[in-house]
Amino acid sequence: MASGGFSVRRYLREGLRLPFCPGCGNFTIINAFLRAVYELGHEDLSGFCFCSGIGCAAWIPSPYFKADSIHTTHGRSIPVATGVKLVRPELTVVVFGGDGDLAGIGGNHLIHAARRNVDLKVVMVNNMVYGMTGGQVAPTTPLGVKTATTPYGCFEYPLDVAGVVAAAGANYVARWTTAHVDKLREAFKEALQWRGFCFVEVVSQCPTNFGRRVGFKSVKEMLQWFRERSISVEDARGLSPEELEGRIVVGCFARRRRPTLGDTLREKLYIG
C-alpha cells in the first residue's frame, strides 16, 4: 500500500474538472481503479501509460490522470496500446473504453489482442449504449430496449463481451458492475498483477442516455437493478441460455498463465 491515506487527488491533475454527468458510473470506476493502484503500493502513475479511444469512458484517464496517456481515434486504442507495450515492455499499459468503442468499432482489435495475449490491461465500461453521442444502440444493448436509433426496440441480442474475450484466449477476464465496488476493486488489483491480456468489463449506469429511456427514475434504482439481475459465474453454469436471458453474469471468466506476445517475440527474435 502506498504511503499516506488514499485520495483520488493524488493521481489526478489539478485544475481539471471531470466531464461526466451526475450519477455517471465513471466516477465509481475511477475511484475503484485508483484505490486498487494505491493498495498495490503505487505512489504515483509514473510506471503507467494509458490509452483510450472515443466516448465517455475514454475520458477517464485522458487528460485527467497524472500520467502519460494517448487519446486515439474511435476503436483504435488497443492497437496503439499494443505498440506501446511492445516498445516499452516495462510499462503497465492500460486501456479504457466503452462498449461501443471497444466491442463495436474496435471489436476486431479486442478479439485479436486477446488471441495474441498482448500484455495489456483493458477496462471496458459497458453502459449498454453509445452514451456520448446521444444514446444510439450498441453491441451490448439488451433485446427490446428503445434507443435513439431503435425507436421500436433493439431487435438484436446483446454481445457477451467477457465471454467472447475469454473464448479468444485472454489470460484474465472478469466482469462486475458498479454496484459491486469491492469486487470490482479486487478485480482491478488482480488484473494489474496478472501477466498477459487482462480484461475487466464493468457494467455501469448511464442515467442520461440509457436510464431515462428505459424508465429508471434514479441512479439508485439502476444500481438496484444491477444487483437483482446479477448472478455469479458459478451459479450460471447450471442454467440454460433461456434462464440466463436478461441476467448479468459476474465474476471471473478466465485465469490462465500463457506466454505473452512480447515474451514470444523476444524469445524468437532474441530481443533484450
Model confidence over 15-25: pLDDT tens digits?
999 999 999 99
CATH of the domain at 58: 3.40.50.970
pLDDT given for residue 266 in this prediction? 87
pLDDT averaged over the chain?
Answer: 96
What pLDDT is recorded for position 272? 55
**Amino acid letter for position 214:** V
> 23's torsion region: left (phi>0), alpha (psi -120 to 50) or beta?
left
Domain count, the chain: 1
Position 6 in a domain: no
| Residues facing residue 51 across a β-bridge | 70, 95
pLDDT recorded at residue 259:
96
pLDDT in tens, 1-48: 777 789 999 999 999 999 999 999 999 999 999 999 999 999 999 999
**pTM to 2 decimals?**
0.96
23 within domain boundaries = no
Residue 25 belongs to a domain: no
Domain membership of residue 30 (yes or no) is no
Q: Is residue 96 part of a domain?
A: yes
Provide the 3-class DSSP secondary structure of residue 61: coil
Strand intervals (E) in the chain: 48-52, 68-71, 92-98, 121-126, 172-177, 198-203, 230-232, 248-255
pLDDT tier for residue 271 given thresholds of 50, 70 and 90:
low
Q: Which residues have C-beta within 8 Å of that of residue 13, sequence separation ≥ 6?
A: 63, 64, 65, 66
Residue numbers of the domain that contains 202 = 47-269
CA 211 – CA 20 distance, rounded (Å): 15
DSSP secondary structure string for all residues of 96-151: EEEHIIIIIITHHHHHHHHHHT-S-EEEEEE-SSBTTTT-B--TTPPTT--BTTBT
pLDDT per position as a tens digit, 160-183: 999 999 999 999 999 999 999 999
Domain for residue 77, yes or no?
A: yes
Taking CA atoms, 197 is separated from 113, 115, 258, in Å, by 7, 9, 10
26 within a domain of the structure (yes/no): no
In this structure, is residue 15 part of a structural domain?
no
